[in-house]
Amino acid sequence: AQSVTQLGSHVSVSEGALVLLRCNYSSSVPPYLFWYVQYPNQGLQLLLKYTSAATLVKGINGFEAEFKKSETSFHLTKPSAHMSDAAEYFCAVSKTGSEKLVFGKGTKLTVNP
């Protein structure tokens, strides 16, 4: 069975600092991997997705993630945090595409002025 582990339920950074949100997955086959963002009282919005085309994936709002098969990781980064990045971030995995996504428990990002 697939699973996703997000290390750190809460991450706090200063405005302008590097953002690093960690995601490790387990999958018996090459997976599809996703990062979603949820702003308060809203639904989820796709940030980026990995579908085996390239290991470094660029998404919206300056975020990117690198697929590392040897480490079974798909960590999300942004070079410089902005106050508007404060939200909850979810990593998700699927064997077949977006169908039957398995989500991590989420990481809440706080950006301090």
Query: Rounded distance, CA 4 to CA 83, Å?
Result: 27
Shortest approach of another protein to residue 38 CB, angstroms?
A: 8
Query: Rounded distance, CA 110 to CA 26, Å?
Result: 27
Pick the closest to residue 34 from 1, 70, 6, 12 (CA basis): 6
Q: What distance lies between CA 21 and its chain's CA centroid?
A: 7
Shortest approach of another protein to residue 74 CB, angstroms?
A: 15
Beta carbon nearer to another protein, 12 or 96: 96
Beta carbon nearer to another protein, 43 or 113: 43
Beta carbon nearer to another protein, 34 or 74: 34
Shortest approach of another protein to residue 27 CB, angstroms?
A: 15
Shortest approach of another protein to residue 64 CB, angstroms?
A: 17
Pick the closest to residue 35 from 93, 113, 97, 110 (CA basis): 93
Query: Which residues would be at the binding site for another protein (CB under 8 A)?
Result: 9, 32, 34, 41-46, 49, 51, 90, 96-106
